Chains A and B, each alone.
Chain A
């Protein structure tokens, strides 16, 4: 298994380097993928692992890989199914940057004929919030871009905050595009619920205690440390619920799920 292990590590590193700002989610996805396909379950598969037949083993790995990908591609839909009841008629939702999971949830709620409004922070430096607004408007959802600096101003009108994630760490904390942490602190300060919509493959085995504990590859796109970071870390005490394909979880349950996977 050892040559395969190094090959997987090599492929994971190449993917991470190529993935731009999504490095954290690619890293966690790769780790879980490798873990999933090499998982040995007791009953049937003993002969597959113990036999000297390489083709059998290869087929087995490919099968499990396909199974993993199937679960992954269905995860956004199952999250939308779980989360759309939280969007009631007349609410104002605040979201940050561009998240396809959040888009799926809002689209599902709209499909079920709920009337709601979405405020999207522009999310400097690459202003990806504009893309989110454009997508939402193309689906006939009322969306408005707001300045990152005006979250204090709008928060009193917001009913809840719903964001996506780059990664979720062991203590249930959130790694997301820069600007998410201040929104969380603001929401907590005005007692507005803060929800995170995230696929379970983004659960990452990392435990940061402060912003500086995030690895440099996640924070900066290039080697230049004078650059602005692209992600920030939101501690779990600011997060109310996480909508995942494993169910609606509290931040403390994330650790439970990760331990089931890794220990």
Chain B
């Protein structure tokens, strides 16, 4: 959102202040539409094209949670005739991986579904890990749904390439080295669903329920970041940021 707002502010500052209000509004709406089309829809197409080249026949691809971009890449690769299977990793409390499962199985792709707890076991069969990012920070850290860091760590231990797909509008100037700074907490009561216990978990003086939303993955666990502009190593995120800043100021 940060980048989009900067872009629109810059666009507004470039406009002729003499313009009437209607023209100004129309211009801004048009620019918003153009930005969404280029940075989100077309970027997804470009990333899919680059990412499907990385998927080979016989691969077992591990994905996490549900990401529209990752599911799109897998569907495109399947439509291109590649023969592979997918391992969908899921985590409580959201269990959003089920949605990914539904879409992939509907297309005829063989899918295995596991909870994130068994990822060390599953990783022995996996050939590639395909993840999406919420943001890519200036120091190369990848912000993703909580659990991404763990999966990247395990994949790295087993020497399995971790491919992160990220559109350039998600690149941020922020710098962060751990998951606690700048995170979000979701409703702690979500953790309590399906918990069978006699203890009253809400309002217990010694118990603090933490439902983190994001986590930060260090660049050393990521093999490659695929953006619509280029395929780059995580550490080169500042190069793209520099180009974006140059066009903005």
Measured between C-beta atoms, what is the minimum distance from B107 to chain A in Å?
25
Q: Is the CB of B161 within 8 A of A170?
A: no
Is B174 at the interface (CB under 8 A from chain A)? no
Is A147 at the interface (CB under 8 A from chain B)? no
Residues from 159 to 183 in A contacting B, C-beta threshold 8 Å:
170-172
Q: Is the CB of B233 within 8 A of A259?
A: no
Q: Is the CB of A252 within 8 A of B161?
A: no
Measured between C-beta atoms, what is the minimum distance from A201 to chain B in Å?
20
Distance, CA A255 to CA B233, complexed state (A): 7
Complex partner residue of A259 from B54, B223, B239, CB under 8 angstroms: B239
Q: Is the CB of A172 within 8 A of B233?
A: yes
Does more than half of chain B's interface fall in helix, strand or loop, or is it mixed? Answer: mixed
Q: Is the CB of B224 within 8 A of A255?
A: no
Measured between C-beta atoms, what is the minimum distance from A169 to chain B in Å?
10
Q: Is the CB of B235 within 8 A of A252?
A: yes
Complex partner residue of A209 from B223, B232, B235, CB under 8 angstroms: B223
Residue of A nearest to B231 (CB): A207
Q: Is the CB of B220 within 8 A of A237?
A: yes
Distance, CA A262 to CA B233, complexed state (A): 16
Measured between C-beta atoms, what is the minimum distance from A68 to chain B in Å?
23
Q: How many residues of B are counted as interface, with CB atoms below 8 angstroms from the partner's CB atoms?
A: 15
Q: Is the CB of A263 within 8 A of B236?
A: no
Q: Is the CB of B224 within 8 A of A259?
A: no
Q: Is the CB of A171 within 8 A of B224?
A: yes
A interface footprint on B212-249 (CB within 8 Å = 1, 0 otherwise): 00000000100110000111110110010001000000
Residues of chain A lying within 8 A (CB to CB) of residue B161: 209-210
Contact A256-B236, Cβ < 8 Å, known A207-B224, A209-B161: yes
Complex partner residue of A263 from B54, B223, B230, B233, CB under 8 angstroms: B230
Is A236 at the interface (CB under 8 A from chain B)? yes
Q: Is the CB of B235 within 8 A of A259?
A: no
B interface footprint on A243-259 (CB within 8 Å = 1, 0 otherwise): 00000000110011001
Q: Is the CB of A252 within 8 A of B223?
A: no
Residues from 178 to 236 in B contacting A, C-beta threshold 8 Å:
220, 223-224, 229-233, 235-236
Residues of chain B lying within 8 A (CB to CB) of residue A171: 224, 232-233
Q: Is the CB of B236 within 8 A of A209?
A: no
Measured between C-beta atoms, what is the minimum distance from A126 to chain B in Å?
30
Residues of chain A lying within 8 A (CB to CB) of residue B163: 209
Q: Is the CB of B239 within 8 A of A255?
A: yes
Residues of chain B lying within 8 A (CB to CB) of residue A251: 233
Distance, CA A178 to CA B231, complexed state (A): 26
Residues of chain A lying within 8 A (CB to CB) of residue B224: 171, 207, 209
Measured between C-beta atoms, what is the minimum distance from B69 to chain A in Å?
19
Q: Is the CB of B223 within 8 A of A255?
A: no
Residues of chain A lying within 8 A (CB to CB) of residue B231: 170, 207
Distance, CA A170 to CA B236, complexed state (A): 10
Residues of chain B lying within 8 A (CB to CB) of residue A210: 161
Residue of A nearest to B223 (CB): A209
Q: Is the CB of A236 within 8 A of B233?
A: yes
Known A-B contacts: A170-B232, A209-B161. Give 19 more (CB < 8 A).
A170-B231, A171-B233, A172-B233, A209-B223, A209-B224, A210-B161, A236-B233, A252-B233, A252-B235, A255-B232, A255-B236, A255-B239, A256-B236, A256-B239, A259-B232, A259-B239, A262-B230, A263-B229, A263-B243
Q: What are the 6 tightest A-B residue pairs by CB atom distance, in nearest-first order? A: A252-B235, A209-B161, A255-B236, A171-B233, A207-B231, A256-B239
